[in-house]
Amino acid sequence: MHTPAVDPATWPLDRDIVFLNHGSFGSCPRLVLEAQQRLRERLERQPIQFFMRDLEALADAARAALAQFVGVDPDDLVFVPNATAGVNTVLHSLRFAPGDELLVTDHEYNACRNAFEHAAERSGARTVVAPIPFPLRSEQEIIDAILERVTPRTRLALIDHVTSQTGLVMPVEKLVKELKARGVDTVIDGAHAPGMVPLDVRRIGATYYTGNCHKWLCAPKGAAFLYVQRDRQHQVRPLVISHGANSERTDRSRYLIEFGWTGTGDPTASLCVPEALRVMASLLPGGWPEVMQRNRALALAARRILCEALAIDPPAPEALIGTLVSVPIRDAQKAKTRDTFRLDPLQDRLLAEHSIEVPVITWPRWPRRLLRVSAQLYNSIPQYERLAAALRTLQ
């Protein structure tokens, strides 16, 4: 791990930058981008042929490959642009009443937390937030914190499979089982899970599961999926209602028909998911299992390096870590910015002065901060050592 597992030129990343933020957007391998460009050229050569005659079969093949990878029936899975869109799709499809409770945790991704707040606001329901400690000692603390907030009025719970800010791999299978026993449906925000951890959505048992393919699967940007339990699919409609709403077809479900066409766009990111699965599996002899194992081992090594540099204990058990790790750093010293997309000054300085791209995250609230690093096949131990040395001078 002192050298990258594969040639960094496999990705079109700037070789002058130490890129430790695959978790935010990542980078797509050149071979996958080339496949996408071929699809785009095919589309533009004969758009009617592509959209009206070829697209459905191409999308079916892509869904089948992805469904096998994540452990679901292809007929229960549809493509969406990103996991945030997946969460919003579920919320816009469901109906809540005044007094209903929508349960989230304080580790939930801000965009999806906002979607829950909006759903509650427009229906008169109430958002209930389960605070989960961080640092924490065990997964039981997570389970207890969430179940404590469940009441007879809880209708839906939103749980991150992998928390964006804190990098925790949540015990989603246990949580889904416990919530189901209490009559609570679950939507799992699996933005980071596909390609980071072994994934069997059917075994998890969630009512709804959405995940990104443009993060750890390394598909092009704009590729994600939504899984809906078969007996709930009649309730779920795409965010954009289009031609499928009054289709008279009977050869496939209304769920597949409506999501299959929501208007003209560029579907090539989703169609490249099989190529992304193939390319990433080909990079190491052991395929996807070795990719995940190698990246996790590197992430844990990175955490040890950073904790030593910061003179802190690891903030969570190793069992709760995937390929994304966060560590607490010194509180912010400057005034809080109101711009959600404004980067922390420390993040800007790390890039400007040390050529390191790594996120500095306000959490759980200003001025508290976390430093979050990712581990992908193009990363190596010396990069995290370089970050640790930079932190000693900038903290």
Q: pLDDT tens-digit profile of 27-83?
A: 999 999 999 999 999 999 999 999 999 999 999 999 999 999 999 999 999 999 999
Both 205 and 315 in one domain: the answer is no
Q: What pLDDT digit, counting tens, does each position of 221-274 carry?
A: 999 999 999 999 999 999 999 999 999 999 999 999 999 999 999 999 999 999
Q: Annotate 88-145 with DSSP letters as a single string.
A: HHHHHHS---TT-EEEEETTS-HHHHHHHHHHHHHHT-EEEEE---SS-S-HHHHHHH
Helix (H, G, I), strand (E, B) or coil at 329: strand
Which of 51, 33, 31 minimizes the C-alpha distance to 42?
A: 51
Which domain-ending residue is among 277, 310, 342? 277
Both 240 and 376 in one domain: the answer is no
Both 262 and 211 in one domain: the answer is yes
pLDDT-above-90 percentage for the chain = 94
Both 333 and 238 in one domain: the answer is no
Both 254 and 141 in one domain: the answer is yes
User: What's the burial of 66, exposed, middle or buried (CB within 10 Å: 0-12/13-18/19+)?
Assistant: buried
C-alpha torsion sign, points 246, 248, 249, 250: positive
Which domain-ending residue is among 250, 277, 304? 277
- The answer to whether position 1 is within a domain reads no
Find the mean pLDDT for residues 142-161. Answer: 98
- The answer to whether position 386 is within a domain reads yes
Domain CATH code at residue 328: 3.90.1150.10
Domain CATH code at residue 247: 3.40.640.10
- The answer to whether position 3 is within a domain reads no
Both 242 and 310 in one domain: the answer is no
Both 142 and 224 in one domain: the answer is yes
Both 260 and 310 in one domain: the answer is no
Helix (H, G, I), strand (E, B) or coil at 68: helix
pTM above 0.85, yes or no: yes
Which domain-ending residue is among 277, 304, 325? 277
User: Do 222 and 241 contact (CB within 8 A), yes or no?
Assistant: no
Both 294 and 209 in one domain: the answer is no
Both 290 and 271 in one domain: the answer is no
Record the tokens describing residue 378, joined without a space.
């193009």
Q: Is the pLDDT of residue 339 over 80?
A: no
Residue numbers of the domain that contains 361: 8-20+286-394
Record the tokens describing residue 64, joined without a space.
């089948």
- The answer to whether position 130 is within a domain reads yes
Q: How far apart are CA 244 and CA 103, in angstroms?
A: 32
Number of compact structural domains in the chain: 2
- The answer to whether position 28 is within a domain reads no
